[in-house]
Chain A
Amino acid sequence: MSDTAFNKRVELALSDSSLHIALERVTSRFTTLRHNGFASLPHADEVRDRARLIRAHTLSRLDSYLAQFANSVEAAGGRVHWAADTAAANGVVVELAKERGAKTVVKGKSMVSEETHLNRALEAAGITVVESDLGEYIIQLAGETPSHIIAPAIHKTKEQVGQLLHEKLGIPLTDDPAQMTAAARAKLREVFLTADMGVSGVNFGVAQTGTICLVENEGNGRLTTSAPRIHVALMGIERLVPTLDDLSIMLQVLARSATGQKLSVYTNLITGPRRREEPDGPGDLHIVLVDNGRSRILGTRLAEILYCVRCGACLNACPVYQQIGGHAYGSVYPGPVGAVLTPALEGIDPWSELPQASSLCGACREVCPVRIDIPRMLLELRDESHRAGLTPLWLKVGLPIYRFVATRPALFKLASTLARWVTRPLASQGWLTRLPPPLSGWTDHRDFPALAARPFSDQLRDKHRKGAKTQSYTKTSS
């Protein structure tokens, strides 16, 4: 491997034994939960097909559903803000905070806010931000970024979290998750009661009713969106479904796919701010619709990645993610979905290695609740990467030479004979233990067999000569 930043991160991840323990514990648990979750769903395949159709349909008419959604939100008393990029999105939130004199912001989980680096923007404006999702809270205390879409602190073992809370919150050292959760909860209660503004993400927006749906298991999302006087929700523009009926289908596959639950513990449906007759809830509801590159993906061969519902199942299933975790990708969205979404949103140039970090095993496609063909798009991105001149030199030279040889059978035969002559004397008991670069990558981890003494086609011809039924024939045309 060459010495790129990506390879360095991979090296670091592969040598981190705590990371391996953490990844093994969590990805295998999620995989089992997901499996059992779908086993209990009648007609699971048809429900997934339907969910896929809903996503495809919505995105094919995204402009009109967005307009309908914005109208419905405003009709319910909410405000809609359109943000073309991260600066615009952060600008909206910071301005709102300043305008309303907010000093403390409590946040629910939001991948879009990770995309825009909202915390940084708020802090730069002198506003305190506290993450309220337990996993996000942990990584905020640690000064890190999420390494998984739904389990942001997946890279940490419970022992490491115990140490962190001991250092940062001054609680006694423990590895008991219940004690750690209780300590974090006590701290967060104060924040919920004093925060001026709640910022959340959105799992789905319903075009018909202007409802936003947030799913979570800790209750922090409900408090974030109801306790402070202002609620600001950040939402990717692709996150829409047409109707509440469609939402019910999406929720069935999302919860099962993410955590194996039939329904998340808290499934919040929010339509507009507090109404006059209601005793509590935020007086202001603002929904920030963030594009940030999404509209550019629509209509391209990568458009299918916008079907994603952010369940994280492809991360758990991915054998590469299981080895290197989320941080090695270096992108906000890690794993198979991140390897497509990141270059799709930000361009292939800085991210050309991500689509290469896959054996194309197809486990991601198999578990995706909306059957996104991620391997196909990884291949599309490899094509794009090559056309952008980003293929490593040895492949840029080597593969066309291979093609030249492989399209000329006589030359192919000659080349294999030469390779046989070279490799056989070097092999010990039929195996080569060291090859020169770039083939050394192979022998770094496994032996390579010497070429066979007699190639298959020759053996077959021998058999044929002895009068067997097989018949070879040669080209007569051209």
Chain B
Amino acid sequence: MKPTTVQLFATCIVETLRPEAGMAVVEVLERLGLAIEYPEGQTCCGQPAFNGGLWDDARAMARHTLDVLCRDVPPERLYEPAPIVVPSGSCADMIVHHYPELFADDPKYGPLAKDVASRTFEFSQFIVEAPGITDLGAHAEGKVVYHPSCHLLRGLGVDEAPRKLLSRVQGLEVVDLPGATECCGFGGLFALKMSDISGAMLNRKLDNVESSGAQCVVGCDVSCLLHIGGGLHRRGAKIETKHLAELLTNDER
């Protein structure tokens, strides 16, 4: 059955650092005729604490997120759980793969985690898999590269979806990014804990971005894009970073 409503889990990074990516996601979903529910009270999925080894804290944040996503279903949708769309491969991977692990032995949150995991999709994955979607009428000029973020590519196994969507943007030239599948070095707290190693990884990514001749790096994880963008800005490179949705809503000719 074709979904008519989706829940949006915006992520803390979109909320505080890159709202324009979130608004573009909303725009795309609405153009596809979907109604969007934004469960109030959402904050952070808990991934920083989970990756940091503080699993009790991660569980607390995950319980909060599960409560937000499950408890407050409006009455008209009670029997039809909506897909949850997340504009981040990494946060979606956390919910899809690690929530069920964190609550494997929890009689209350275990089933909730499984339910939420089963209906959570990263943005591009959802768009491509949702039926009846062809051309979004997007148009953009210039050369871009696509950066496949690690948790999207190797965690969720999503690679074709964003590339397919990008190829449908009229006027856009998508060029190859050398070493595309190499990590940009972000890794959440890794960028702080092991900042010199992370910085060396970032430099390699930036060299590859610059050598590609692209004017913009496109991706599906705002966190990695902020990392790459921060590196590009430090170098003084005039290369933008954009979430995929921002290009899909671009219709300026």
Residues of A within 8 A of B (CB): 1, 10-11, 14, 319-320, 323-324, 356-363, 365-366, 379, 381-387, 391-392, 395-396, 399-400, 402-403, 405-407, 409, 412, 416, 419-420, 431, 433, 438-439, 441-442, 444-449, 451-452, 454-457, 459-460, 463, 468-478
Residue of chain B at shortest CB distance from A452: B19
Residue of A320, A360, A365, A409 most packed against chain B (CB within 10 A): A360
Interface pair A457/B15, CB less than 8 Å apart: yes
Interface pair B37/A379, CB less than 8 Å apart: no
A-B contact pairs, 14 of them (CB 8 A): A359-B183, A359-B186, A363-B182, A382-B53, A406-B46, A438-B192, A441-B198, A442-B191, A452-B16, A455-B15, A457-B38, A473-B38, A473-B40, A475-B40
Contact of B190 among A360, A381, A419 (CB under 8 A): A360
Task: Please tell me if B238 contacts chain A, counting CB pairs below 8 Å.
Answer: no
Interface pair B229/A449, CB less than 8 Å apart: yes
Task: Please tell me if B12 contacts chain A, counting CB pairs below 8 Å.
Answer: yes
A residues near B155, Cβ cutoff 8 Å: 362
Task: Please tell me if B92 contacts chain A, counting CB pairs below 8 Å.
Answer: no
Interface pair A445/B202, CB less than 8 Å apart: yes
Contact of B53 among A11, A383, A468 (CB under 8 A): A383
Interface pair A363/B195, CB less than 8 Å apart: no
Contact of A473 among B39, B154, B204, B230 (CB under 8 A): B39
For the complex, what is the distance from the CA of A386 to the CA of B58, rounded to whole Å? Answer: 13
Interface pair A409/B41, CB less than 8 Å apart: yes
Interface pair B185/A391, CB less than 8 Å apart: no
Interface pair A463/B72, CB less than 8 Å apart: no
Interface pair B52/A395, CB less than 8 Å apart: yes
Task: Please tell me if B114 contacts chain A, counting CB pairs below 8 Å.
Answer: no
Interface pair B18/A470, CB less than 8 Å apart: no
- 0/1 interface trace, chain B 149-186, chain A, CB 8 Å (1 if under): 01101110000000000000000000000000111011
Contact of B230 among A323, A365, A447, A457 (CB under 8 A): A447
Interface pair B72/A469, CB less than 8 Å apart: no
Interface pair B72/A456, CB less than 8 Å apart: no
Q: Given A323-B197, A399-B48, answer yes or no on A407-B43 (Cβ-Cβ < 8 Å).
A: yes
Q: Given A445-B195, A449-B226, answer yes or no on A361-B183 (Cβ-Cβ < 8 Å).
A: yes
Within 8 A of A (CB), among B197-222: 197-204
Residue of B10, B17, B37, B54 most packed against chain A (CB within 10 A): B54
Q: Given A446-B230, A451-B17, A463-B26, answer yes or no on A402-B48 (Cβ-Cβ < 8 Å).
A: yes
Interface pair B72/A474, CB less than 8 Å apart: yes
Interface pair A361/B187, CB less than 8 Å apart: yes
A residues near B183, Cβ cutoff 8 Å: 319, 359, 361, 363
Within 8 A of A (CB), among B107-165: 150-151, 153-155
For the complex, what is the distance from the CA of A444 to the CA of B71, rounded to whole Å? Answer: 42
Interface pair A475/B71, CB less than 8 Å apart: yes
Interface pair B26/A470, CB less than 8 Å apart: yes
B15 vs chain A, min Cβ distance (A): 5
Task: Please tell me if B61 contacts chain A, counting CB pairs below 8 Å.
Answer: yes
Contact of B193 among A11, A392, A403, A478 (CB under 8 A): A392
Task: Please tell me if B57 contacts chain A, counting CB pairs below 8 Å.
Answer: yes
For the complex, what is the distance from the CA of A236 to the CA of B112, rounded to whole Å? Answer: 43
Interface pair A400/B54, CB less than 8 Å apart: yes
Interface pair B38/A14, CB less than 8 Å apart: no
For the complex, what is the distance from the CA of A416 to the CA of B10, rounded to whole Å? Answer: 15
A424 vs chain B, min Cβ distance (A): 12
Residue of chain B at shortest CB distance from A400: B57
Residue of chain B at shortest CB distance from A6: B194
Task: Please tell me if B103 contacts chain A, counting CB pairs below 8 Å.
Answer: no
Task: Please tell me if B239 contacts chain A, counting CB pairs below 8 Å.
Answer: no
B residues near A441, Cβ cutoff 8 Å: 191-193, 195, 198
B10 vs chain A, min Cβ distance (A): 5
Interface pair A445/B190, CB less than 8 Å apart: no
Contact of A406 among B35, B43, B189, B194 (CB under 8 A): B43
B residues near A449, Cβ cutoff 8 Å: 17-18, 226, 229-230
Interface pair A402/B38, CB less than 8 Å apart: no
B residues near A11, Cβ cutoff 8 Å: 196
Besides A323-B197, A469-B30, 17 more A-B contacts (Cβ < 8 Å) are: A1-B194, A14-B197, A319-B185, A320-B197, A324-B197, A359-B183, A359-B187, A361-B182, A362-B153, A405-B43, A407-B63, A438-B192, A441-B198, A452-B19, A470-B30, A474-B72, A477-B71
Contact of B150 among A10, A362, A399, A433 (CB under 8 A): A362
A residues near B195, Cβ cutoff 8 Å: 1, 441-442, 444-445
Residue of chain A at shortest CB distance from B11: A456
For the complex, what is the distance from the CA of A357 to the CA of B200, rounded to whole Å? Answer: 13
Q: Given A319-B201, A357-B197, answer yes or no on A477-B19 (Cβ-Cβ < 8 Å).
A: no
Interface pair A359/B150, CB less than 8 Å apart: yes
Interface pair B200/A472, CB less than 8 Å apart: no
A89 vs chain B, min Cβ distance (A): 33
Interface pair B154/A362, CB less than 8 Å apart: yes
Interface pair A14/B200, CB less than 8 Å apart: yes
For the complex, what is the distance from the CA of A446 to the CA of B182, rounded to whole Å? Answer: 18
A residues near B150, Cβ cutoff 8 Å: 359-363
A residues near B57, Cβ cutoff 8 Å: 399-400, 402-403
Interface pair B16/A416, CB less than 8 Å apart: yes
Residue of chain B at shortest CB distance from A429: B233
